[in-house]
Amino acid sequence: MFLFVGYQLWGTGIEEAQSQNKLENRFTEIAVTTSSTPTTSVASSNNQPSEDITVVPLKPIVIREGDPIALIDIPTIGVSKYVVAGVQTSDLKKGPGHYPGTPFPGELGNASIAGHRTTYGEPFRHLDDLNIGDPIIITDLMGRTFTYLVTNQQVVSATDSWVVATTDSNKAMLTLTTCHPEFSAKRRLIISAELDLTQSDIATSPAAVYADDAVDTTTVPSTEVSTSEVKTSIVTETTTTTIPVIVNVDSSNSESADALSRGWFSDPSAIPQTLLWGFLELLIVMVAWQVAKKYRNRLIGAVVGFIPFFVVLYFIFQNVNRLLPPNL
C-alpha cells in the first residue's frame, strides 16, 4: 500500500512528464504559426499600394480526443502545461483536458478545462491559491494568445455540471475544474475567468474542431474583383474552401456531467484486469515460495521472484489507478 501511494504521488508524475514531452512535439508539429486571417492582395499598375481582394480564414485543425489543443500558463502558481482534447481517464493522464462540447479557448462561451489535483503531475493542485485578477494565459494551435483574468473561485458538489455550461454567449469565459479537497473526489473546486479584452481579441474562427463534429461544411467561393487602373478583371485562383461548421453542443449534456461527477470505479473495465494481474502476482509469490522450500533457502526464493513481482505489481498499480476518480 505504501508503494501504491508512492506510485500515485510520484510514479504517475513521471508518466505525465513523458506524455507532456510527446504533447509538446505533437503541438509543435500541428500548430499553425501564421495569422488566422491571411490576406490575398494585388498591386495596381501605377505602383500604388496593393489593394485587398479577399480574406480567407485558415481551416480549423481536425483533432481527436488525446490530441494537444493548447498551452495553458498560470504564472501565479507556476503552471505551464499542454492541454489535451477530452476529459476521459486516459486523456487526463497526459495533462489538463478540454471538455468536449464546450467552446475552445478564445471563443465566445464557457471554455472548460479539467485537471488532476494530486496525481499525474498535479497540474491543478494549487488552484485554490489563485486570487481575483490573476492571469491565465492560453496559446492555441494557431499561435493566438488569450489572456483571462480570474473572476471567481468556488467549491461545488460533484453533480453541479452547470459550472461548465455557457450562461452568457456574449462573453468569452474560462472554467477550470478539479477535485476538492486534496486527495478526495467528494467535491469540485471551480475557477472562473473572463477574457481580458484589453489584452486579447475574441477568436473569430476556431483553431480546432473535434473529428466527430466536423460533419457539415460551409463553402467559401472564390472572389472576383475588377480595378479601373489595371483595366482587367482579376480573379483569384483560389479553389473552393470548405470549413467545418462547429456544432455547438449544450455544455450541460450528459457527457460533461459525467466527466465532472465521475467518482470511484470510473473505469469498471479495469476490474477484471486488476484481478487477473493480482492472480498472477499471487502465482509468482507461490512459485518463489516453492523454490525457497525446495532449496531450503529463502534468499534464493526472493531472488527468483523479485523482478517478476515488481513488474507485475506495476501493472496492478496501473489498473487499480484506472478505478480511481480521473480528477483526483
Q: How far apart are CA 282 and CA 284, in angstroms?
A: 5
CB 4 within 8 Å of CB 317: yes
Please check whether residues 251 and 317 belong to one and the same domain.
no
Please check whether residues 318 and 250 belong to one and the same domain.
no
Please check whether residues 8 and 146 belong to one and the same domain.
yes
Please check whether residues 158 and 200 belong to one and the same domain.
yes
The answer to whether residue 215 is domain-embedded is no
The answer to whether residue 139 is domain-embedded is yes
* Per-residue pLDDT at 259: 64
Whose cell is 455547438? That residue is: 248
The answer to whether residue 236 is domain-embedded is no
Grid cell locating 63:
483533432
Is the pLDDT at 67 greater than 50? The verdict is yes
Please check whether residues 275 and 130 belong to one and the same domain.
no
In Å, what is the CA distance from 290 to each residue of 276, 284, 299, 305, 309? Answer: 21, 10, 12, 11, 15
Which of 237 and 49 is assigned the larger pLDDT? 49
Average pLDDT, the chain: 80
What's 205's DSSP letter? Answer: S
The answer to whether residue 233 is domain-embedded is no
The pLDDT tens digits of the residues spanning 141-163 come to: 999 999 999 999 999 998 898 99
Of 233, 261, 289, which residue sits at a domain end? 261
Specify the CATH number for the domain of residue 184: 2.40.260.10
Strands 241-244 and 217-220: antiparallel
Reduced to 3 states (helix: H, G, I; strand: E, B; else coil), residue 176 is strand
In Å, what is the CA distance from 75 to each residue of 60, 67, 126, 142, 287? Answer: 28, 24, 12, 22, 53
Please check whether residues 182 and 150 belong to one and the same domain.
yes
In Å, what is the CA distance from 66 to each residue of 102, 108, 259? Answer: 16, 23, 15
* Per-residue pLDDT at 224: 38
Grid cell locating 221:
467561393
Lowest mean pLDDT among 72-81, 100-109, 175-184: 175-184
Please check whether residues 144 and 285 belong to one and the same domain.
no
Please check whether residues 62 and 175 belong to one and the same domain.
yes
HSE-up of residue 137 (Cα within 13 Å, Cβ side): 12
Please check whether residues 23 and 140 belong to one and the same domain.
yes
The pLDDT tens digits of the residues spanning 180-189 come to: 988 788 899 9
pTM of the shown model: 0.72
Which of 165 and 55 is assigned the larger pLDDT? 165
Please check whether residues 57 and 137 belong to one and the same domain.
yes
Please check whether residues 298 and 250 belong to one and the same domain.
no
Closest CA to 262 of 189, 164, 161, 181: 161
What's 199's DSSP letter? Answer: T
Reduced to 3 states (helix: H, G, I; strand: E, B; else coil), residue 99 is coil
Question: What is the domain extent for residue 278?
Answer: 270-322
The answer to whether residue 235 is domain-embedded is no
The answer to whether residue 226 is domain-embedded is no
The answer to whether residue 142 is domain-embedded is yes
Closest CA to 259 of 119, 150, 121, 164: 164
Please check whether residues 133 and 191 belong to one and the same domain.
yes
**Count of domains for the chain:** 2
CB 96 within 8 Å of CB 123: yes
The answer to whether residue 217 is domain-embedded is no
Is the pLDDT at 48 greater than 60? The verdict is no
Average pLDDT estimate for 12-20: 91
